Amino acid sequence: MENMKDLECKILGQIAEAADLKQLDEIRVSALGKKGSITEAMKTLGTMAQEERIETAKQLNLMKTTIEEALLKRKTVLDDEALNAKLQNEKVDVTLPCRPETQGRIHPVSKIFEEVIAIFGTMGFEVAEGPDIEDQFHNFNALNMPLNHPARQMQDTFYVAQASDKPFDMEDAYVVRTQTSGIQIRTMEVKKPPIRIIAPGRTYRSDMDATHTPMFHQLEGLVIDKTTTMAHLKGCLYDFVKAFFELDDIPVRYRPSYFPFTEPSAEMDIGCLKTKTELKVGAGNDWLEILGCGMVHPNVLRAGGIDPDEYQGFAFGLGIDRLAMLKYGIPDLRTFFESDVRWLKNYGFAPLDFSSMTGGLSGNGGQTR
Ligand code: DAH
């Protein structure tokens, strides 16, 4: 029995000293494998007298269990050590700045969309959508712009071709939407107040010069509740322009205006400095118009299925491309849509610079452009 104890001590010592999983497995095989020391000892049982055999078998089985347990324990320790070493090896410092992307840039229009969504998202607005190809009810009629309304002629509308076997019916034709305002109606149709949405999207008008392109981008805003007032509109838009231009304060003014779907209507200007070579927002004695807004016309609420005696609200609309030109100093709108990668390399944004109110809107203060 003495040499069995010795054997057990020896194997347990080896187990305790095994430096890695491979060594541990070698020890397991040398003890418990087909030709292992314990297996070999088991084979001698047959040659023993019954009493001795029973006693030895018991001892051997106990020893086997002890060794198996020791192997398992050591394996757990070595597994942990191996995992820790691996984690240590593969450690990633998430605070390191990302490597500059060599290829691919976010278009300034997409960037502005991300920025305005981040700002209004923080204020509790949801993003709403509507179709680019729109019926005239949503694009015009429901917005208090019936057929022959003068504002309708001013919008240089693109009409969608109809089946060629019938004469073109201007009144019935679909249009490519001239404004995102139709999404106000689409939202009212499916949502009960309180409503607080923004609707970014493409819009289309037959127009082309340095500040107009046939396809451009707008952002619509709509808030409807029981006690929404013009004061809310002013506060909301003031907070928006400050956040957007990343300034602590910015002079703003509202001029009376006319839109068929709001009453009263206004245009919002921001204070700026205009020189021959520069336009600086937030300082100086000049004004720059940046958006249209007003209290939602009762006819529009009615067209959207909302009772104007119970609810009221405000709306606003702004040109995203103009904001991009302004914020990032891009002189010609037509260049936005020329798909020139050199232009995009210059004016585009690194893909991983997400816009957020906490992490910065234009990404590292515009450094990564
Ligand atoms: N739809 C207008 C346009 O395309 C912009 C606009 C002005 C939208 C005033 C509004 C608003 O919601 O209240 O010129």
Bridge partners (DSSP) of residue 162 are none
**Residues whose CB is less than 8 angstroms from the CB of residue 100 and which lie 6 or more positions away in sequence, other chains included:** 350, 368
Cα 64 → chain centroid: 59
Mutate to test the pocket of ligand 1, among 156, 178, 179, 204 (most ligand atoms within 8 A of CB): 179
Query: What average pLDDT does this structure show over 73-96?
Result: 92
pLDDT-based confidence at residue 100 (cuts at 50, 70, 90):
low
- Average pLDDT, whole number, for the chain? 91
Mutate to test the pocket of ligand 1, among 237, 261, 265 (most ligand atoms within 8 A of CB): 261
CA of 152 to the centre of ligand 1 (A): 13
pTM (2 d.p.): 0.72
List of E strands, 147-302: 175-176, 195-204, 215-225, 252-259, 262-274, 279-281, 286-296
Query: What average pLDDT does this structure show over 217-238?
Result: 98
Distance CA 323, CA 328 (A): 8
- What six digits make up the tokens of 47? 């040659």
Domain range 108-347, its CATH number among 3.40.50.720, 3.60.15.10, 1.10.1740.10, 3.30.930.10: 3.30.930.10
What DSSP character marks residue 263?
E
For residue range 190-219, list pLDDT tens digits in order: 999 999 999 999 999 998 888 889 999 999
Contact (Cβ atoms closer than 8 angstroms) between residue 178 and residue 334? no
CA of 182 to the centre of ligand 1 (A): 10
CA of 291 to the centre of ligand 1 (A): 8
Residue 181 CB less than 6 A away from ligand 1: yes
| Proportion of the chain in helix, strand, coil states, percent, rounded to 5 | 45, 20, 35
**Pairing relation of β-strands 126-127 and 175-176?**
unpaired
Distance CA 116, CA 101 (A): 24
Is the CA virtual torsion 301, 305, 310, 316 positive or negative?
negative
Element (H, E) at 73: helix 50-89
Reported as half-sphere exposure (CB side, CA atoms, 13 A), residue 221 has a value of 27
> For the chain, how many residues are written?
369
